[in-house]
Structures are given as C-alpha cells and as structure tokens.
Structure 1
Amino acid sequence: MENQESPFKAGLNSGLILGIISIVITYIVYFIDPTLLVAWYVGIGILVLYIGLIIYYGIQYRNSIGGFMPFGTAFNFAFIAMVVSGVISMLGSQLLYHVVDPALPGVLIESQMETQMAMLERFGAADSMTSEQIDEIRSNLESGYTIVGQLKAFGIIVIVYAIIALILGAILKKRDKSLDY
C-alpha cells in the first residue's frame, strides 16, 4: 500500500509555503509604498493569487494521492492551508507593525482615513459627520493594528476561510467514476 500524505500534512506544508509567500509579498509592497498595504486593489490581487496557489497546490495533492479526492478531504486541505498561512501572515504583519516600522500603523491609519473621508464626501455624508464620529473611526482603525485587534480579526477571518474552503473543496474534489454502479 502506498504511503499517502494526509490532508492535514499536505495543508500544513502548503500553508507554510503560502504564509511565507504572503510575508514576502507584504514586505515587497511595504518597501515599494507602505500605503499600498491598505489599497483595495492590492488586497484583491493578493487574494486572487492566494486562491490560485491553493488550487494549484490542491491539484498537486490530489494527483499525489491517486488523482481523486472527495469533497471532505479537499475542504480539509484548503481550510488547513488557509489557517496556517493566515497565522504566519499575521505574525509577519505584527513583526512589521511593531518591530520593523512601529510608525507604520499611523501611516496606514492616515491613508485609510483619507480614503474613507473621500468616500464619505462623494456620498455627501462628510459634512454631517461630527468630530466624535471621526474620532471613533480613527479609534477603530487604530485598534485593528494592535495584537488583540489582529487576533479578533483573525477569528472573523477563520469563518471567511471556512466559506472559501467550501468553494475550493468543490473545485478541487474529483470523484472516481469507475466506482459508480
């Protein structure tokens, strides 16, 4: 009997690779222009790359276990890969925010505030905002860069990872039709 890799181990290995790639991309973007770290189009681009790599590694794993993979195995692989990658990425971000450049959260908060205020102005809501509301927005943004804020956000992201893993599981599964009666 072949010694097949479990979905947990395959997901762990792929998650480690994805996490390292995520950290490298984050630091490259940081060195190019730190404000790009909060640009929506950069986030979408990274998400597309991330999902593409999970599909690629998932297909590699499926081929390594015989070319067929049930939905449950595909879901487990994708979910574990995303959680491991998320933990590594969060640790890399915390290193960036608190060790490499402790002033970076302030720069990112200012960039986010400018973007949000511009959006509010386009909708005509900026004039009706009180200074307390603006301070509350700033406070919420600041709390997102703390360790506790990052852990809270990660808790929510785990739910999003589960939903994405369901979709990826459906994409990666492949049934052996020769077993049909």
Structure 2
Amino acid sequence: MEPQSQPSNSPAKAALNSGLIIGLVMLSINFIVYFMDYSYLVAAWYGFLVLVLFFAQVIYFGKQYRKEIGGFMDFGTAFQFAFVTLIVSGLITTIGNMLLYFVIHPGLPELLVETQLENMVAMLDSLGAGDSLSGDQIDDMRNEMASNFTFLGQIKAFGISLIIYAVLALILGAILKKRDKSTDF
C-alpha cells in the first residue's frame, strides 16, 4: 500500500482561505443588496437565498480541498474544514455588518426594525391574526428586534451562531466526507 501524500495545507489553513473568500463574497452581496434596497436585507426570500448560497460555497470549497488532498477526506477532517470555514466567514460578515450598522449608515438598524415589523404584521394580517396584537406587544417586538442590531446584540448573535455553525459543520462534514473504499478488506 502506498503512503498517502501529505496535503499541502491543513484543513484549518484551507478553511481560513475558504472562509475569507466566502465571508467577502457574502459581505459584498450584503452591501450590493443594501445599495439596491435596504429593505431586502430583512426579507425572508433574501435570507433563504443567502443561506443556500452560503451552503453551496462551503460545499464547493470543501470538494476542492478534498480533491487537493487526494480525493478522500474522513469525517473529522471534513468537520474541521467546514467548522473553521463557517466561523471565519461568519466573523467577517458580522464585522462587515457592524461597519454597515454603526459607521456607514447608523440609522439603518432603525429602518430595518421598522421594515421587519411591517413585514411581520403584514404576514399576521394575511393569516387573520394581525388584529390580535396590542400596541404593547408591537412595542415589545420592536424593542426586541432593535436589540438585535446593537453592538452587544451582534456579538450575542455571533455567539449563538457558533452553536449553529457546529451543527451545520456536522451536516456539511457528512456531505463532504468520502472514504477510500479500496482500503476495505
């Protein structure tokens, strides 16, 4: 049996590069959408589209890395690659969003909260439940949404994202792994 060639870079190093690229791509998309119409940033379809694109990029770069290391990757390596990629890209987009919310357009969080609240009330109205909300409940929802756009809210959201990234990395690791069946006896 021939020894397997050593990868030119570790899963963590490859993931840093991939995460950087994905983070910059996602951040660029966010800024493009912001310049087109900021209200899209809180639209459900946009969130879904971004999630699909995010997954597709991680899978693409994961398959590229698997190919680079010989076409096979065990689950542990795939998990490590996916988790580090998700963390790096998430950190870049969080920092970019903070720049957008606090430096570039400090009034944007308030606009996004109002748009998000309008979308939610419209959805509840379409389901026939819009009249059941009191003014106090709407104010509570507004305050909760606004807290998500504060500096502390962004840090808290990133912390929660780390847990979600771990679960997603498990799923992505299972997708990206590929074992060498020629070594089976």
State the TM-score, normalized to the length of structure 2: 0.94
CA distance in 2, matches of 1:20, 1:82: 12
Residue of 60, 64, 67 corresponding to 1:63:
67
Shift of 1:3: 5.1
Deviations 1:104-140 (A, max 9, x none): 1111111101011112222333323222111100000
* Aligned 8 A contact 2:7 2:69 in 1: no
Matches within 5 A, 1:32-111: 32-111=36-115
Q: Match of 1:154? A: 158
Residue type of the alignment partner of 2:163: I
CA distance in 2, matches of 1:10, 1:2: 14
Q: Match of 2:172? A: 168
Q: Match of 2:12? A: 8
CA distance in 2, matches of 1:138, 1:16: 33
What RMSD, in angstroms, separates the aligned Cα atoms of the two structures? Answer: 1.2
CA distance in 2, matches of 1:100, 1:73: 39
Q: Match of 2:121? A: 117
CA distance in 2, matches of 1:25, 1:7: 26
CA distance in 2, matches of 1:68, 1:128: 56
Shift of 1:157: 1.5
CA distance in 2, matches of 1:148, 1:129: 28
